[in-house]
Amino acid sequence: MSLATAANVTAHGPRRATARKTTGEQVKRSSAAEVIDHAAAAAQRRVQIGDPLLDLMERTRLGYLSAEAAEDEAVSDAIYDPLFEEQKNAPAATSMAGVLAALRYGISDIEGFDSCTGSVLRGALAGLERIVGSPKTDPAFRIIEEHRAAWTKWKAFGDHTPDEHPAFKAADKKEVACWERLIATTPTTIAGLGALLDYYDRAKLLQRACESGDAETILKALASAAPMICGVAASTTATDDPLLDKRRR
């Protein structure tokens, strides 16, 4: 169940949906002990997620599912009420995942907006989801994996393999080709940009980029993603920082 369907909230409180059925059997949560278990599990998830707003949205989703399935209204309220209080003072997101989760939650109950405002908000959310992206939408992920596989195969030959060994020559040629594609790759999403930065942050790759002169190529490729992030192209001349301009001269 999505957050949009599981967590519809109005000014008058939640819309308590009829308890769902799972594999033909109604889920029952009707004891105070289960509420305590839910809170303990939520605390564990908070540590794992790291983003306080993303954590709140995840606990909201799971809490609403549990509350909807509770047989006892007192137990249901014991789950809902603390979540409402947290939502009133929601923390700032520390990741794009947290931003997206909160926007999906807020836009899900759209009846309060007129048709134009609702459409604009949905368009903004769809655009943000596209810009953030995923491994399925940004070719950077595929290119990273291609190079990782080629690098692993090349490295497996070790230092004692003769340079003229046919299999080694083929692996070396493949790795170089994948590396050249990698360093020229401009990410099309924020997720892809993060993946590339994370992949380059390895001692061997950093050393190779610096010693081979490929660092400039990498920086230019990454800088080409500026329009996706800020809506304008990266400056190639003057900046707002006089110190940087002076150093250029």
User: Could you tell me where the beta strands, DSSP code E, fall in 4-157?
Assistant: 9-10, 13-14, 21-22, 25-26
The DSSP 8-state label assigned to residue 30 in this structure reads -
CA dist., res. 113 & res. 217, Å (int): 47
- Going residue by residue through the chain, which has 249 residues, state the pLDDT in tens, using 9 for 90 and above: 333 333 333 333 333 333 333 333 333 444 445 544 555 555 555 445 588 888 888 888 888 888 888 888 888 888 889 888 988 888 888 888 888 888 888 887 666 566 677 778 888 888 888 888 888 889 999 999 999 999 999 999 888 888 889 999 999 999 999 999 999 999 999 999 999 999 999 888 989 999 999 999 999 999 998 888 776 555 544 455 554 444 444
Give the side-chain half-sphere CA count within 13 A for 117.
7
CA dist., res. 71 & res. 22, Å (int): 15
**CA dihedral for 163, 169, 175, 177, sign (positive or negative):** positive
